[in-house]
């Protein structure tokens, strides 16, 4: 492969960058999967730490929409929070429970999740290029025996790259609209969205939505 040839020539910059990117993606994976996604700890904390975003949006939502008490963990849910049956907690700005990381994606770890997907996409694209550069096709059984693992790796990389790319694009679109996967999929069942005069009362324009999310 290209990286192997560069290493043999003593050109270690690109192989080192590739290894560092892989290491970074692994560290981000553990960061996203182990950190608190934004669990609602108690009724007092939920009351005290209402976000600026909520206070700006509440006037646009009918006044009869109040904070509801979760039927599972018995805390008052801030707006946009949802109880996760797998984590057994209510999560602020709940997006979804991700089986890849075995954790919820919520208010605190959603930006790290996007960074993780971005780094992972770069690693996959680069890994796909490395695998392709090591393939020299020949119509023989011996060639297939010697290259079957590399060929399978390349096909798996293509599949994972497609999945990660679609996931990243969908999340960036939802972020630009200031909505979550849960709100997008369950709009008709969420009281503060169903009774709102606006289709999305949280949308403040693409630039401000992105700024508030990442900064």
Residue 143 in contact with residue 55, Cβ under 8 Å? no
CA distance 150 to 144: 10
Give catalytic status of residue 87 as yes or no: no
Whether this model's pTM surpasses 0.85: no
Give the C-alpha distances (Å, rounded to integers) separating 97 from 82, 133, 170, 180.
11, 37, 15, 12
**pLDDT band, very low/low/confident/very high, at 195 (cuts 50, 70, 90):** confident
DSSP label of 77:
P
pLDDT tens track for 49-105: 555 445 444 445 555 555 678 888 888 888 899 999 999 899 999 999 999 999 999
Looking at 24, 98, 104, 177, which residue is catalytic?
98
pLDDT digits (tens, 9 = 90+) for 28-63: 999 999 999 999 887 545 454 555 445 444 445 555
Q: What is the mean pLDDT of the chain?
A: 84
pLDDT at 7: 75
> What is residue 45's predicted lDDT score, i.e. its pLDDT?
52
């Amino acid at each position: 492969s290209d990286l192997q040839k560069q290493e043999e020539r003593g050109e270690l910059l690109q192989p080192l960058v590739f290894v560092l990117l892989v290491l970074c993606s692994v560290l981000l994976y553990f960061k996203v999967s182990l950190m608190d996604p934004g669990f609602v700890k108690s009724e007092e904390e939920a009351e005290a730490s209402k976000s600026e975003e909520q206070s700006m949006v509440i006037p646009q939502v009918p006044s009869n929409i109040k904070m509801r008490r979760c039927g599972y963990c018995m805390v008052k849910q801030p707006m946009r929070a949802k109880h996760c049956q797998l984590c057994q907690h209510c999560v602020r700005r709940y997006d979804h429970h991700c089986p890849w990381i075995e954790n919820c994606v919520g208010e605190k770890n959603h930006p790290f999740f996007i960074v993780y997907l971005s780094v992972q996409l770069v690693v996959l694209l680069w890994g796909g290029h490395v695998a392709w550069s090591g393939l020299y096709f020949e119509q023989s059984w011996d060639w297939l025996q010697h290259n079957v693992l590399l060929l399978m790796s390349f096909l798996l990389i293509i599949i994972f790259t497609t999945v990660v790319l679609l996931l990243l694009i969908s999340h960036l679109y939802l972020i630009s609209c200031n909505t979550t996967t849960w709100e997008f999929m369950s709009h008709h069942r969420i009281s503060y969205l169903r009774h709102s005069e606006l289709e999305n009362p949280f949308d403040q324009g693409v630039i401000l939505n992105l700024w508030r999310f990442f900064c």
